[in-house]
Chain A
Amino acid sequence: MIKCIFLSNFHITQGPVISHQVPKDYVSKEIFDSIHNFIITKPELQNRLIIVSSFGLKYVGCPIYIESTEYERNAFIFNVCFTFDEETDTSPYGPLVKKLANYLTQLEIELKFLSGSGNSERVPQFLKEVLHGLNQEKCCNINTAASCTVHLKLASSIHEPIAVEDHDVPCLVVPRDVMSKHQWDLTTQQILNYVDGLSHVKKIAAEADVELNLVKANLQNLLYNKFITMVSIFQYSNVYTVTRNINKLIEDDHLQKECIKFVAKSDRSPPDFHDVYMMYCAFTPGTTVKTLCTRQINPHTLKIDERKLVQFGLMKGLLRRMQKYPAALPGVPVTSRVQPLLPWLDGRHSFDQISCETGISHHELDDKIEADESIVVCWK
């Protein structure tokens, strides 16, 4: 939450001052005086993003220096600062402050938006709109001039987009009806129909009849904006293990209901919580889903959809997939059957990765590796 936005500039006689502030009088003059050297800075630090923490607040600003003979001191120095509580993570706001500073530089150069005398009403109004827009909607589009609209959008997190693999399975984390309210591009709309939490990326591409890389790019975008999450592909040969988070399922009433609804085979007769919980607890290292479903528990009679159970478990962190890492022991010769696979048998590549890159099925890979005594397999 942005607490306050203020515009500070270098007054020709008074030096650094706060010229506008919304809400009014949030940052007192005394506080400003003690930190103003970080807000109206020396020339070396201009046009840099500066974040100062003091007096329990955080100030994020970017001092701008516009040189022009039109100004009385041949320059106009200003800084639009966002103010936050000290605990706030300000990293998403940094680029925003810089962008806003660039907009204002442009507006100032072209229209004297900040320094002009007639704008004492418009500037605070503008800052107010930015403050409200970002706090309420997380974005704002403000028409400030005939040819300039200020677009600001708060990204939920700033990181490199996570790469989407062919064998990943996208799952919606937002209800579908909420999803469809957003104005997606045509490709995304087409893909979204096929995102059912079971089909993997390659399959979605085939079903939606969209080029694979386009699908990946689209899903990456959705993933970045936290509309979907990626889980690993479901196979009956997979091994999952229950995590400590399973206690959440007992304590959290809401999660429990959500879970029962999610894993039900049919909506009309939901499964018993006891059975769902028992099934989660039955996921132990070394037990494949196949063994579990054939020997220990019959999910069908319990009205549980085991695929959805696993999917829910992975999404909420109740289950963890155990991957197989084959490793060829150094100094021991391998058989000729495994020879071509050797580059992947360094203990860094999981079965999923190897079979994706070599095109060999899990089953085949298993056969080859089990036959060779010089290869050990670590599950983790």
Chain B
Amino acid sequence: MAYNLDPVAVLLVTSDTRGNRVLFRYPYIQETEPESTKKQTTKETKKNLYAISIAESSQDVKKIKPLFSSFIKDGVLVGFSNETLANFLNVKSELCGKTFSVQIDDVRFVGYPISLSNLSRKKRQRQQNSSKQHNILAVNVVFVLRANLPESVCTCYQELAQQLSVAISQEENRCDYLTKEAKVMLAAYDEASVTGDDDPVSTMRVIVHRSDLAKELRHVYERLVGDGQVIFYLNQWLEINFCLPHKIHDLNTLGKNLSLEPIYRCLSYLRPYHGILLTKPEQELLRFLPLDSSPAMTRLIKLTKPVKNLKTLALETDLSITQIYQLVCHMVYWGYAMLIYPLCQSNVYILSPSADTAVDSQLSQEFSMCFHGLNLTQEMARFSFPSHMHDNLDILSYSSPRLIDQFNQVVVWMLQHRLINQLHTYVNLIPARRKEFSSSSTASQSISSTHSSNSSMQVIEESYLSVLMEDPSTTTLDRTTSLSDLASVNSEESTGGHSTAQSITQYTSQHSKSPSQEANSEGSAAEDRKAQWRLQDSLLNELKPQLKAAIVRCPASKNSDDLRLFAKLCPYFNGKHHLEEMMFYENLSRSQLVALLDKFKEVLILCYHEDPATSLL
């Protein structure tokens, strides 16, 4: 189910001392046709000699009523005269300064009416001086949308309407912007009425030609229909910046219901080991940035490489990791960048279920433009099965380094277009049940309770706690929030969109902490064999008996180093942390980790799926 996200029209409505009017509407209307045909048909029925003339009765009422007719014809708003619109889009003063939303059959009007009657004193005086002028009392910028659009899209449009309305009223306050522009527009209407030109389209053309505000509103509409990004300076003074994330991220093609939830979810899973991939060439991005953009942003864009993780970027740009998070959240929301796991040879990729495999798709043409002699479908077929980046590089087909380089570029291109997803390995600690303790229901229950979200963490943390209590060298235990708590906090925070990204600051600092941070401190204490035995005992005691028994049964548990490492990694074994995350936080090499997992494979179940941060699905 694909939605048409484009607005049907943009309207500028004002209310002044002489009444309400629609000053500008874009796109221009072709209203004359349907009106005239309707009139003709009604006339014809009356003229028909053979028609039974029904007496003026209640039956007649139903006939006159228009049957259901759409207000949108060929993507243009029809069926509303300017007077009608002006009347109902100018609301009572109680509704000013609030978001405005009215749906009439299949169109929805969202706007933000602002009352201009309580302007500053200075302005009042100015107006009194030129007293003959009429006052504009209220202004409303309204977007006309299709009624079937999901709420989250309408809310975005509402935000833009608010930005525009507030900016216009601000400019009116500063330099009578609206009054001047309104004068220009009204003059055009007057001219049209003098010359007897009934065609509203030509009037609108004249207005666009003469008025800056009209030009700006047209620009807004065109940008929204185009790529969904609106960045300009109203009256060359106030910056308007807005993006329609639904459009930028092409959420439409993902199917399901249209919401921003996937983006916020991605951002909530942001971790220092992630990297970013720019969706546009560097130079193009830098051109997009407004003049007063933060130099940190420019630095980040310039230094970004798909092989670097955010921690490295933080070091290289000399920014704190929280600042990097803010910038990244901002860039992801605006579609300038996407989250990835930094490219490396051991990454495993698979074709995304939302990828368009059609041979003659638009994308495949773009692909052939970028990479001569390669076919997108063929490249996609390579990723039908999970493949390492280096699996594909067999010596025969990629003999020269140039070809390997090209292959890497193909992978980057496919990542940018979300054609492939990275698969990660997740680990679960679930021991097989042995015949000895076979009371079925209790066993399954205990597994679920040890693993249910936070509780497993807490159980294990407590076990560490008991160890730490005996160790005088460690005094503080500052870790209070678990990762999942953070994630939920973060997702709430990021709902504010691009403008409120800074509020993430306070929380993201804790991201860099790992679930078993405090466990590191206990390493030295465990030198003592006795202490280690105590560790083992207490650790396993805190786990459920089944788990403990199963772990002890593994041959590798006899080796104290392995067991210690295993105990340290236990908090990660809940299906929510992939190998790369463990490697990053615990400073392990892949081979070390894989070897350990192999030693304890009796109690572990491996699972392969995408990282929620890097996949929009």
Q: Which A residues are closer than 8 A to B by beta carbons?
A: 30, 33-35, 37-38, 41-42, 44-54, 65-69, 89, 91, 109, 159, 241-244, 246-247, 250-251, 253, 256-257, 260, 270, 272-275, 277-278, 281, 284-286, 320, 322, 325, 327-330, 346-348, 376-380
How far, in whole Å, are A45 and B94 apart by their CA atoms in the complex?
A: 22
Q: Assuming A242-B609, A327-B359, is B430 touching A274 (CB within 8 A)?
A: yes
How far, in whole Å, are A48 and B88 apart by their CA atoms in the complex?
A: 14
Q: B612 — which chain A residues lie within 8 A by C-beta? A: 244
Q: B104 — which chain A residues lie within 8 A by C-beta? A: 45, 48-51
> Quick check: B443 and A246 within 8 Å, CB to CB?
no
Q: B65 — which chain A residues lie within 8 A by C-beta? A: 46-47
Q: Assuming A44-B84, A274-B430, is B378 touching A376 (CB within 8 A)?
A: yes
Q: How would residues 145 to 187 of chain B score, 1 for a CB under 8 Å from any chain A CB and 0 otherwise?
A: 0001001000000000000000000000000000000000000
6 A-B pairs with the lowest CB-CB distances in the bound complex, closest first: A379-B384, A51-B103, A376-B381, A347-B357, A34-B94, A286-B385
CB closest residue in chain B, given A278: B605
Q: For the complex formed, measure the closest distance between the CB of A191 and the CB atoms of chain B, giving whole angstroms.
A: 27
Chain A binder among B128-136, B316-324, B448-456 = B448-456
How far, in whole Å, are A37 and B102 apart by their CA atoms in the complex?
A: 11
Contact of B384 among A30, A329, A377 (CB under 8 A): A377
Which of under 10, 10 to 19, 20 to 34, or 35 or more describes the interface residues of B?
Answer: 35 or more
> Quick check: A250 and B575 within 8 Å, CB to CB?
yes
Besides A89-B151, A270-B440, 4 other A-B contacts (C-beta < 8 A): A251-B453, A274-B605, A347-B361, A378-B384
Q: B357 — which chain A residues lie within 8 A by C-beta? A: 325, 327, 347-348, 378, 380
Does B428 reach chain A (CB closer than 8 Å)? Answer: yes
Q: A380 — which chain B residues lie within 8 A by C-beta? A: 351-353, 355, 357, 384
Does B219 reach chain A (CB closer than 8 Å)? Answer: no
> Quick check: A66 and B61 within 8 Å, CB to CB?
yes
How far, in whole Å, are A38 and B89 apart by their CA atoms in the complex?
A: 10
> Quick check: B377 and A42 within 8 Å, CB to CB?
no
Q: For the complex formed, measure the closest distance between the CB of A232 and the CB atoms of chain B, giving whole angstroms.
A: 13
How far, in whole Å, are A53 and B91 apart by their CA atoms in the complex?
A: 13
Q: Which B residues are closer than 8 A to A by beta carbons?
A: 1, 56-58, 60-61, 65-66, 80-81, 84, 87-88, 91-92, 94-95, 98-105, 108, 148, 151, 350-353, 355-361, 375, 377-378, 380-381, 384-386, 428, 430-433, 440, 443-445, 447-449, 451-453, 574-576, 605-610, 612
Contact of A272 among B94, B350, B443 (CB under 8 A): B443
How far, in whole Å, are A371 and B92 apart by their CA atoms in the complex?
A: 74
Q: For the complex formed, measure the closest distance between the CB of A253 and the CB atoms of chain B, giving whole angstroms.
A: 5
Q: B433 — which chain A residues lie within 8 A by C-beta? A: 272, 274
22 CB contacts below 8 A, A to B, read A35-B95, A44-B80, A47-B65, A47-B66, A49-B104, A65-B61, A241-B608, A241-B609, A242-B608, A246-B607, A250-B430, A250-B574, A273-B443, A278-B605, A285-B350, A286-B386, A346-B360, A347-B356, A347-B357, A379-B385, A380-B351, A380-B384
CB closest residue in chain B, given A160: B1
Q: A67 — which chain B residues lie within 8 A by C-beta? A: 58, 60-61
Contact of A250 among B58, B81, B428 (CB under 8 A): B428
> Quick check: A281 and B606 within 8 Å, CB to CB?
yes
> Quick check: B102 and A38 within 8 Å, CB to CB?
yes
> Quick check: A329 and B355 within 8 Å, CB to CB?
no
How far, in whole Å, are A40 and B52 apart by their CA atoms in the complex?
A: 33
How far, in whole Å, are A102 and B32 apart by their CA atoms in the complex?
A: 30
Q: Assuming A251-B451, A327-B357, is B105 touching A48 (CB within 8 A)?
A: yes
How far, in whole Å, are A4 and B226 apart by their CA atoms in the complex?
A: 42
How far, in whole Å, are A253 and B576 apart by their CA atoms in the complex?
A: 17
How far, in whole Å, are A54 and B97 apart by their CA atoms in the complex?
A: 11
Contact of B359 among A52, A260, A347 (CB under 8 A): A347
> Quick check: B452 and A49 within 8 Å, CB to CB?
no
Q: A52 — which chain B residues lie within 8 A by C-beta? A: 101-103
CB closest residue in chain A, given B58: A109
Contact of A329 among B61, B108, B351, B377 (CB under 8 A): B377
Contact of B607 among A35, A242, A329 (CB under 8 A): A242
> Quick check: B377 and A66 within 8 Å, CB to CB?
no
> Quick check: B88 and A377 within 8 Å, CB to CB?
no
> Quick check: B58 and A66 within 8 Å, CB to CB?
yes
Q: B1 — which chain A residues lie within 8 A by C-beta? A: 159
CB closest residue in chain A, given B612: A244
Q: B610 — which chain A residues lie within 8 A by C-beta? A: 244
> Quick check: A376 and B386 within 8 Å, CB to CB?
no
> Quick check: B359 and A34 within 8 Å, CB to CB?
no
Q: For the complex formed, measure the closest distance between the CB of B111 and the CB atoms of chain A, giving whole angstroms.
A: 12
Q: A69 — which chain B residues lie within 8 A by C-beta? A: 56
Q: Assuming A48-B104, A49-B103, A377-B381, is B358 touching A329 (CB within 8 A)?
A: no
Q: A34 — which chain B residues lie within 8 A by C-beta? A: 91-92, 94-95
> Quick check: A378 and B377 within 8 Å, CB to CB?
yes
Q: B103 — which chain A residues lie within 8 A by C-beta? A: 49-52
Q: B101 — which chain A residues lie within 8 A by C-beta? A: 51-54
> Quick check: B61 and A42 within 8 Å, CB to CB?
no
Q: Assuming A272-B444, A275-B432, A327-B359, is B609 touching A246 (CB within 8 A)?
A: yes
